[in-house]
Amino acid sequence: MCIKKKAFQVAVIMTTVSASACSNMQAAKTADTAVNINNFTYTGGVLRETAATVAINSEETETIANRLLTEVKKGNHAVGLAAPQIGISKRIFVFQIPKNIPDKLKDKNIESIPWTVAINPEYTPVDNDVHEMAEGCFSVPHFYGTKVPRYKKVHYSYTTLAGDKVEGIATGFFAQVLQHETDHLNGKLYIDLVKNKDTLKLLKDLPKKTVKTSTDKAG
């Protein structure tokens, strides 16, 4: 997922490559091509499936994780990528929380998180408080959303590649990334949450300065 700091791309949460909002939805039903983050985005039907649970400490899971890490690092300003985005219907994604996000989006409990593998992740909102955030996605090329509703605070859990269980409360950008990437595992894209499609903007129209400082893509 690609998320920009203002428009996080949650393939991670936002910037250069995003899902082609409305225009790519038909393609998503038929295309079945390998992902290339900066030139072509996988838009196959797997994106609309509920992904299957994966085994902990298995060779298959490690292989998927390594492939996700390899692919996501090809992207500009990437903060996350989920297995369905590369055509694999499994409950696993990778993410990072960079240091250079705006202060108002920082989770007070973390400074940053290096690239991390999240296996069989889940999240639940702590309450009903929602705010609208900027967001982009590698699976919605060319577009980013300026008003994507996200829960302000979520309880999350996932298992690491080493088999350790991680859980806690996330806010801000961290919560946004977790929601965006986990949604991918449930067949949901951020554009499904956008009530007013007129709030979707073209990435090419972002000022260059904004792209450099405030747009990271999540898966």
Catalytic residue ranges: 181
Tokens 């409305």 -> residue: 22
Distance of CA 134 to the CA centre of its chain: 12
57, with CB counted inside 10 A (0-12, 13-18, 19+), is: exposed
21, with CB counted inside 10 A (0-12, 13-18, 19+), is: buried
Q: Which two tokens stand for residue 64?
A: 């998927």
Give the C-alpha distances (Å, rounded to integers) separating 109 from 95, 112, 125, 130, 205. Answer: 17, 9, 18, 20, 34
CA-atom Rg of the chain in angstroms: 15
